[in-house]
Chains A and B, each alone.
Chain A
Amino acid sequence: DTGVSQDPRHKITKRGQNVTFRCDPISEHNRLYWYRQTLGQGPEFLTYFQNEAQLEKSRLLSDRFSAERPKGSFSTLEIQRTEQGDSAMYLCASRNRVSGELFFGEGSRLTVL
């Protein structure tokens, strides 16, 4: 257990529905990242928060995706009007300083039918 928790661990939804994932990072970590991982691939960067500020979004993050970190603690990732191509593992990670280890959660696996 790295101390980063994600919820839910698994989500099955029908195409067109909205889904939301939550991440609780390690409490003293001010930097939070979301990654997406598809089968057989390495994690791909989606977005990054420093405290409550979203400082970067990947071009992978279409306008159907939105992420928030309202109080600089937990974060949510929402996918609207899900598509089958959104099926993946969504990983959250946190770090507390520049160039330090990223601690990953166990991920939220999304299956879109």
Chain B
Amino acid sequence: GESVGLHLPTLSVQEGDNSIINCAYSNSASDYFIWYKQESGKGPQFIIDIRSNMDKRQGQRVTVLLNKTVKHLSLQIAATQPGDSAVYFCAENRPPLQGGSEKLVFGKGTKLTVNP
């Protein structure tokens, strides 16, 4: 099925280190991208977004980088904390195709484990 690719299923870091989670997307027409965090048994929670006319956006402890040339997205988390342990998904917003609708398409996710 259609999907955004995420090729590193797990990432383990030490508390206080910086984390980088990568994502490759497939559709060059995608105009908006979101990173979600999902804790066990809960729905995805918005972290940060970026539009296709930008290449970097910063939030509180998080930065998203977008490279449209190679269709690559990354999430950087500074000073990673145990509470950051979760599965992280990137999602691309695909414009509507003929007869279709605009929708978010998700990758498979990366499980981040923060060791104390």
- Asked if A70 CB lies within 8 Å of chain B CBs, one says no
* Chain A, residue nearest B102 (CB): A98
- Asked if B12 CB lies within 8 Å of chain A CBs, one says no
Residues of A in contact with B (beta carbons under 8 Å apart): 2, 4, 33, 35, 40-45, 48, 50, 55-56, 60, 91, 93, 98-99, 101-107, 109
Please indicate the chain A residues that have their CB under 8 angstroms from the CB of B93 in the complex.
Answer: 99
Known: A98-B102, A103-B46, A106-B42. A44 touches B34 (CB 8 A): no
Q: How many A-B residue pairs have CB under 8 A?
A: 64
How far apart sit A55 and B4, CA to CA, in the bound complex (Å)? Answer: 23
Please indicate the chain A residues that have their CB under 8 angstroms from the CB of B4 in the complex.
Answer: 42
- Asked if B31 CB lies within 8 Å of chain A CBs, one says yes
Are A99 and B31 in touch, CB under 8 angstroms?
Answer: yes
Closest 9 CB pairs of A and B: A42-B106, A104-B43, A56-B101, A99-B32, A48-B101, A106-B43, A104-B44, A55-B101, A43-B106
Residues of B in contact with A (beta carbons under 8 Å apart): 1, 3-4, 6, 31-32, 34, 36, 41-46, 49, 51, 89, 91, 93, 99-109
Distance (Å) between the CB of A8 and the closest chain B CB?
A: 14
Known: A41-B109, A42-B108, A44-B1. A104 touches B102 (CB 8 A): no
* Chain A, residue nearest B95 (CB): A99
Which of the residues A2, A40, A42 comes within 8 Å of B43, measured between beta carbons? A2
How far apart sit A85 and B95, CA to CA, in the bound complex (Å)? Answer: 30
Known: A41-B108, A42-B107, A99-B32. A105 touches B43 (CB 8 A): yes
Are B45 and A104 in touch, CB under 8 angstroms?
Answer: yes
* Chain A, residue nearest B31 (CB): A99
How far apart sit A35 and B104, CA to CA, in the bound complex (Å)? Answer: 10
Known: A45-B105, A106-B42. 6 other contacts (CB 8 A): A55-B101, A60-B1, A99-B93, A104-B36, A104-B45, A107-B43
Are A42 and B42 in touch, CB under 8 angstroms?
Answer: no
How far apart sit A43 and B6, CA to CA, in the bound complex (Å)? Answer: 13
